[in-house]
């Protein structure tokens, strides 16, 4: 690597090193979000379930306001927002609710590129005899195979699971069109909007999405808070014991998530335009520096902060080892870290082994600037060149 560039990068600020570009995995808490969270923990700490006193009443009002902010960002009603510990719990509650509404096993169709939180929950329910599943295929860009969806719907389905945007390659899905098709066939729909919220338009027109899963820590809120947005959801109508008692609301987390969604609603369009510009610049730099690099996913219809690429012949784990402490990126979903098998998303897309084993996922964020992009491009390119050289030398030993 250019030594002068390295020294410049280290000298910028200790707070910015290593450079963070793994915003799909999690986002740092926005200082404006932190402020309201601390206030709710220290000053307005009442129990929102105990409205007999002013402290509880204030907390309940704050929760109500947070519901409105969350609802607005997904074009829903405030009463449809049900707070959870995260999108995983929201997904599990939605599926448990759909199961409880049936007197027979729930017929579920899900895309092959859904998050593991969806897939694992469905597979577990299937092992318990509660679900009959079918798969919806995707193409080599992770776009939904419409004929596969229509085929599943025509055979009879109670619930369709399709994410709003893919958490690995960033491909965006036509939620309104899919929702309409599901409802035309009498099926409900579960949309995992964890990665998409605030980063893409979520206007489904006259359609009402049956279940939407959200997570606070993907939108610059804290971990441990999420929401299920569902117009007909009732916690007491779920398979299992989840609804047997109403839990004490995590008021600080709820208000923080509401504030995070409010900021995304106000600033998301401009932020997405800025990140798309930076992402495109980073992509151009890497394509120029790394001959043979392949961009994965739908490059026309993807999340603005997402860049997923493969560098054939260069194992991604070796690249990440060389970048450790300098640049934080990933090979895929944070929920799959440590797994030995290749990404199920990339396998569903039919990517060849050379691309599967060399993929890198880059997620830009609110603090990313042009300087970060320039340094990141150089760091990745230098790491690839060193690894290629070492592999070439090994071949001649």
- Which is more confident, 277 or 390? 277
Confidence of residue 394 (pLDDT cuts 50, 70, 90): low
Residue 368 confidence (pLDDT) above 50: yes
Helix 370-395 × helix 251-289 angle, to 10°: 60
Residue 371 confidence (pLDDT) above 60: yes
The whole-number average pLDDT for the span 227-250 is: 82
Residue 15 confidence (pLDDT) above 60: no
For residue 236, the model assigns a pLDDT of 82
Tokens 């071949």, residue located: 395
Q: 3-23+268-395 with 31-264: one CATH topology?
A: no
DSSP secondary structure string for all residues of 191-225: EE-TTTTTTS----TT---SEEEEEGGGTTS-TT-
The whole-number average pLDDT for the span 143-168 is: 97
Report how far residue 237's alpha carbon sits from residue 72's, in angstroms, rounded to the nearest whole number. Answer: 25
Q: Is the Cα dihedral 47, 48, 50, 53 positive or negative?
A: positive
Instruction: Check 143, 182, 261, 335 and give the catalytic one.
Output: 335
The whole-number average pLDDT for the span 71-96 is: 96
pLDDT digits (tens, 9 = 90+) for 32-52: 999 999 999 998 898 887 777
Confidence of residue 334 (pLDDT cuts 50, 70, 90): low
Kindly list the distances between the CA atom of residue 244 and the CA atoms of 102, 232, 234, 236, in Å, as whole numbers in the listed order: 19, 18, 11, 6
The whole-number average pLDDT for the span 285-314 is: 96
Report how far residue 229's alpha carbon sits from residue 70's, in angstroms, rounded to the nearest whole number. Answer: 9
Each domain of the chain, given as residue ranges in start order, spans 3-23+268-395, 31-264
Tokens 């579920």, residue located: 108
Give alpha helix (H) positions in the chain.
3-12, 31-42, 54-73, 87-100, 116-127, 146-154, 175-184, 251-289, 316-323, 344-348, 353-356, 370-395
Residue 2 confidence (pLDDT) above 60: no
Report how far residue 260's alpha carbon sits from residue 279's, in angstroms, rounded to the nearest whole number. Answer: 23
How would you label 197-234 residue by residue, b for 16+ Cβ within 10 Å and e otherwise?
bbbbebebeebbbbbbbbbbbbbbbbebbbbbbbeebe
For residue 9, the model assigns a pLDDT of 44
For residue 203, the model assigns a pLDDT of 81
The whole-number average pLDDT for the span 12-20 is: 67
The DSSP secondary-structure symbol of 46 reads -
For residue 4, the model assigns a pLDDT of 41
The whole-number average pLDDT for the span 280-300 is: 97
Question: Which among 261, 204, 266, 195 is positioned nearest to 231, based on CA atoms?
Answer: 204
pLDDT digits (tens, 9 = 90+) for 176-223: 999 999 999 999 999 999 999 999 988 888 889 999 999 999 999 999
For 3-23+268-395, the fitting CATH number among 3.40.50.300, 3.20.10.10, 3.40.109.10, 3.90.1150.10 is 3.90.1150.10
Q: Is the Cα dihedral 80, 84, 88, 92 positive or negative?
A: negative
Task: Assign domain 31-264 to its CATH architecture.
Answer: 3-Layer(aba) Sandwich (3.40)
Q: CB–CB of 288/61 below 8 Å?
A: no
Report how far residue 278's alpha carbon sits from residue 202's, in angstroms, rounded to the nearest whole number. Answer: 23
Does the annotation mark 335 as catalytic?
Answer: yes
């Amino acid at each position: 690597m250019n030594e002068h560039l390295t020294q410049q990068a280290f000298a910028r600020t200790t707070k910015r090193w290593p450079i963070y570009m793994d915003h799909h995995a999690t986002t740092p808490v926005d200082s404006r979000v932190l402020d309201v969270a601390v206030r709710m923990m220290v000053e307005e700490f009442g129990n929102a379930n105990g409205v007999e006193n002013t402290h509880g009443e204030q907390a309940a009002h704050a929760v109500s306001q947070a519901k409105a902010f969350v609802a607005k960002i997904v074009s829903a009603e405030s009463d449809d927002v049900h707070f959870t510990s995260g999108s995983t719990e929201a997904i599990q509650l939605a599926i448990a609710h759909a199961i409880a509404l049936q007197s027979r096993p729930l017929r579920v169709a899900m895309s092959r590129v859904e998050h593991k939180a969806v897939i694992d929950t469905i597979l577990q329910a299937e092992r318990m005899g509660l679900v009959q599943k079918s798969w919806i295929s995707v193409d080599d860009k992770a776009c939904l195979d419409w004929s596969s969806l229509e085929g599943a719907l025509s055979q009879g389905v109670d619930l369709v699971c399709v994410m709003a945007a893919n958490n690995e390659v960033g491909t965006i899905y036509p939620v309104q069109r899919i929702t309409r098709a599901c409802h035309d066939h009498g099926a409900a729909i579960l949309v995992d909007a964890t990665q998409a919220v605030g980063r893409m338009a979520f206007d489904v027109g006259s359609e009402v999405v049956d279940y939407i899963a959200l997570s606070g820590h993907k939108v610059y809120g804290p971990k441990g808070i999420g929401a299920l947005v569902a117009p007909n959801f009732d916690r007491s109508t779920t398979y299992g014991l989840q609804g047997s008692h109403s839990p004490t609301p995590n008021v600080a987390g709820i208000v923080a998530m509401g504030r995070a969604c409010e900021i995304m609603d106000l600033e998301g369009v401009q932020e997405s335009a800025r990140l798309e510009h930076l992402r495109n610049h980073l992509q151009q730099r890497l394509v120029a520096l790394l001959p043979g690099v392949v961009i994965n996913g739908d490059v026309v219809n993807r999340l603005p902060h997402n860049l997923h690429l493969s560098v054939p012949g260069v194992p991604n784990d070796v690249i990440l080892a060389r970048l450790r402490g300098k640049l934080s990126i990933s090979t895929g979903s944070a929920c799959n870290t440590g797994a030995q098998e290749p990404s199920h998303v990339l396998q569903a897309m039919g990517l060849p082994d050379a691309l599967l084993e060399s993929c890198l996922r880059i997620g830009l964020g609110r603090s990313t600037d042009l300087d970060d992009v320039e340094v990141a491009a150089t760091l990745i390119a230098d790491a690839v060149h060193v690894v290629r050289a070492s592999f070439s030398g090994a071949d001649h030993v």
